[in-house]
Structure 1
Amino acid sequence: MTDATDPARPGTPEDDSTPVPRTPRSEVRERLLAAGSQVFAEQGVHEARLDAVAAAAGFSKGAVYSNFSSKEDLLAQVMQRATNRVLLSLQELVRIDISAADVGDVVRAAFGRHDQSAQFALLSELRAYAMRHPEFMPEFVRQRRTLQDGVRELVHTWFAAHPEVDPGMPLDTFATILIATNTGIVFDAPALDGTDPGDAVATMVEAVLRTR
């Protein structure tokens, strides 16, 4: 699929009609990635079929193969998209002008804005697939490290702008604990009756940060 339009062939009734533009390739790709995220999360990577992904995006199966070389290629790009979206959201959220006193409220607001259940369902399926298919594990690890590096960079940037704040531990350790706490509490959310994940993570952050 391309960005170009297909003019009507000479001698056909469509000669005088306005050509219908094709969907831009970038939009096709984004719709397929969004559909892949949904289908993989809901059906599981192993059970999900590419024609189901194509149908969810509103295209034929051929559109998948026009944009991705294989199911594994689509899977890797779906994970890349998810990683990029998480990092972009964090970059928009974590600003250096946020005071230590407001960090907890920012975390609570972030959880309120973004329902992580669908994202976690996708991550769980990707992790399970990587465990069963060792050839995919390096890609899974690479992208998780990309996310971890992004969080560490944000943590270092914020603390560099707030030398008056003591995290009580090495910054890389603090970043790792943030990721692990978030992942763990979303994982256990169904069993944590009455616990608000955003409030729990925010409370942990508030307990750690201290003015020097």
Structure 2
Amino acid sequence: MTERLTRAQQQKRTRERLLDSAETLFGDRGIHQTTLDEIAAAAGLTKGAIYANFGGKKDLIAALLQRKLERDDPVRPRSSLESWVRSVGESYEASAPTPQVRRFAMALVELWLFGMRDETQLGPFRDWLRSVREHLADDAAVLGNRLPMPSDQAAALLLALDIGVALQYLADPEAVPVSTYTRGVEALLGLPVRPPGR
């Protein structure tokens, strides 16, 4: 016997299917080359489902970025700078090699290019970057005067390191191991840089 879903549960499931399809197609084919009909078909739905849940491509992009932000919000220990860096590094190193991160990285590059080519479309991506930096700055601010720079500047550099290492790792993992991120965070924050694997 199958369990009946409530209307809210059905809508959430539909939204997730559409977001999964959009993320995959945007990463594989590009935003301009992907139609709403193709996204709906890949999700096994109609284009009407997109308009009922998102309103259009721009809202779909904003929802993709918001979903990524919500999924990347783990509770991290904050007792010391060292434990925070260790937690951030372990989380990064565990998630970077996954297919989901690869798929999002490809979509992220597309979203970035989409916004840079058409400034009227830059808003959702810019808002996402700001939200990620604010989250990182809040985390870092808890660590107080242990930071070698203001927390908002540390957040901007940590995000640049995150994106930059991920793109290089995904393109050339032998030359840029995923542990490069953790070593970079340690160096950026003035901690002794531990050898990989420790």
Shared topology, TM-score over 0.5?
A: yes
Residue 147 of structure 1 aligns to a residue whose secondary structure is: helix
Deviation for aligned residue 1:128? 0.8
Residue matched to 2:23: 37
Match of 1:11 in 2: none
Is the 8 Å Cα contact of residues 133 and 156 (structure 2) preserved in structure 1? Answer: yes
Q: Match for residue 196 of structure 1?
A: 177
Closer, same or farther: CA 101–63 of 1 in aligned 2, 3 Å: closer
Counterpart for residue 64 of structure 2: 78
CA contact 1:54–1:60 (8 Å) conserved in 2:
yes
Q: 1:154 and 1:101, CA in 2 relative to 1: closer, same or farther beyond 3 A?
A: closer
Letter in 1 for 2:168: D
2:103 matched to 1:126?
no
The answer for the alignment partner of 1:171 in structure 2 is 151
Give TM-score, length-normalised by structure 2: 0.78
1:108 aligns with 2:90: yes
Cα-Cα RMSD: 2.7
Report the CA distance between 1:145 and its aligned residue. Answer: 0.7
Residue 96 (1) aligns with residue 81 (2): no
Taking every aligned residue pair, what percent have the same amino acid on both sides? 26
Larger radius of gyration: 1
Quote how far apart the aligned CAs of 1:27 are. Answer: 1.5
Cα distance in 1 for partners of 2:81, 2:120 equals 44
- Give me the whole-angstrom Cα distance separating, in 2, the residues matched to 1:44 and 1:106: 30
| Range that drifts further, 109-118 or 43-52 | 109-118
Query: Partner residue of 1:24?
Result: 10
Contact 2:140 2:147 in 1 (8 A): no
User: 121, 125, 135: which one pairs with 1:140?
Assistant: 125
Report the TM-score, using the length of structure 1 for normalisation: 0.74
User: 1:149: which partner in 2?
Assistant: 134
Deviations 1:142-195 (A, max 9, x none): 2211111111111112x14xx6xx332232222221111111122223246332
